[in-house]
């Protein structure tokens, strides 16, 4: 299997590529490590399935603690611009990912607020954003958020999908 799949209530099917998950999984938050994260780029397939294709490597300019993260906006914009240009606009900003030091990750009120700020102040092509959170055991949580609501969907990551380091 080259992707993870989730059905988001009131939205539809979302696919996370193996490449995207591999990038995120390298930054699992263990012991006293700080949170980390970055932006996501993706696209809408012709069959109305959203694909989260690539995850940004964390910027060394990010600021973080055990339970918080402030991403470098300039690095995030360069990541999105690079993929937008390389793919003639096929890949575009679709959301954010980060880690949590917990087994079953879920977005916090701060996470929802961050995405609200992106939806209100950002210049994004969609009226929604996706968030991915990687827990310390490799479990993954996807959330979809628009200006009026959000839906959280745990994703089962098959053992064969996980890197050997898990």
Q: Residue 68 is part of a domain; what is its CATH number?
A: 3.40.140.10
pLDDT tens digits, residue range 124-141?
888 899 999 999 988 899
Per the DSSP assignment, residues forming a β-bridge with 39 are: 96
Whether residue 77 has pLDDT greater than 70: yes
Q: How far is CA 135 from CA 25, 30, 31, 89, 94, in A?
A: 9, 9, 12, 31, 21
Asked if the structure places residue 41 within a domain, the reply is yes
Per the DSSP assignment, residues forming a β-bridge with 143 are: 131, 152
Q: What is the pLDDT of residue 156?
A: 72
Instruction: Choose from 88-92, 117-121, 137-141 the range with maximum mean pLDDT.
Output: 88-92
Q: What is the mean pLDDT of the chain?
A: 90
Asked if the structure places residue 165 within a domain, the reply is no
Q: What is the pLDDT of residue 150?
A: 85
Work out how many domains the chain is built from and give that number.
1
Asked if the structure places residue 133 within a domain, the reply is yes
Asked if the structure places residue 142 within a domain, the reply is yes
Domain of 115 in residue numbering reads as 3-158
Asked if the structure places residue 137 within a domain, the reply is yes
């Amino acid at each position: 299997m080259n992707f993870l799949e989730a059905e988001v209530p009131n939205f539809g099917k979302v696919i996370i590529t193996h490449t995207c998950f591999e990038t995120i999984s390298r930054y699992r938050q263990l012991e006293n490590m700080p949170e980390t994260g970055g932006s996501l780029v993706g696209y809408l397939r012709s069959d109305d399935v959203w694909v989260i294709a690539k995850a940004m490597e964390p910027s060394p300019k990010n600021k973080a603690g055990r339970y918080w993260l402030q991403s470098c906006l300039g690095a995030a914009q360069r990541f999105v611009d690079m993929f937008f240009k390389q793919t003639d606009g096929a890949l575009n900003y679709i959301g954010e990912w980060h880690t949590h030091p917990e087994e079953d990750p879920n977005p916090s009120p701060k996470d929802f607020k961050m995405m609200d700020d992106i939806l209100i102040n950002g210049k994004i092509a969609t009226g929604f954003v996706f968030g991915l959170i990687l827990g310390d055991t490799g479990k993954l949580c996807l959330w979809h958020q628009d200006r009026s609501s959000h839906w959280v969907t745990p994703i089962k990551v098959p053992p064969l999908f996980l890197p050997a380091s898990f």
